[in-house]
Amino acid sequence: MLKYADKQFYLDGKPVLLMAGEIHYYRLDPSEWQPRIDELKSAGFNTVATYIPWVCHEHVEGDIDLTGKYNERHNIKAFIELCEANDLYLFLRPGPFIMAEMKNDGIPHWVYKKYPWIIPSGFDGQEATTPTLDYLAPDFLKAVKNWYHAIMTLISSHIPSKGGKVIG
């Protein structure tokens, strides 16, 4: 387990210096993952940080793809396993809101279509000019709960207590 105390991170009770570099797996052909990992490691990093954009993994409500079934770039399972095989820690950020220059800030398009009432209006009552949502709307939270269930099931099987390298 990762802990922070006395201005120091500890992993399984031992001090650890985490040096993270960002690799957005979903923007790269899988054949580029290993070369990017090699570059990251050669620069002295021991941790990969990445977003896990919901918009990439659930194009159709209820059909969550974490294995690259529809687009090989979106195989987060394989990316996690590759990082672990390279003895790298992972810091994963599954959103739901991620920004990262993603459409809808990482929120799937179907959420906007199915629940148009979660798109807030401005103070003048007019439709918002940015693709933001009411992040506390019950329908949005229900959709996020389903996303979190799927992605956390995968992530939780890769935490250190289960032999994995996901630390955040």
At 121, the pLDDT band (50, 70, 90 cuts) reads: confident
Residue 5 confidence (pLDDT) above 80: yes
The whole-number average pLDDT for the span 115-130 is 79
Residue 63 confidence (pLDDT) above 90: yes
Mean pLDDT of all residues belonging to the chain: 94
Residue 69 confidence (pLDDT) above 70: yes
The whole-model pTM stands at 0.92
Top CATH class, 2-162: alpha beta
Q: Where are the domains of the chain?
A: 2-162
Q: Residue 5 in 3-state DSSP?
A: strand
Q: In what order do the strands lie in the sheet with 2-5?
A: 2-5, 8-11, 14-16
Q: For the range 107-110, what are the long-range contacts, defined as Cβ-Cβ under 8 Å and sequence gap of 24 or more?
A: 107/54, 107/55, 107/131, 107/133, 108/54, 108/55, 108/58, 108/59, 108/61, 109/55, 109/59, 110/58, 110/59, 110/60, 110/61
Residue 144 confidence (pLDDT) above 80: yes
CA distance 133 to 104: 9
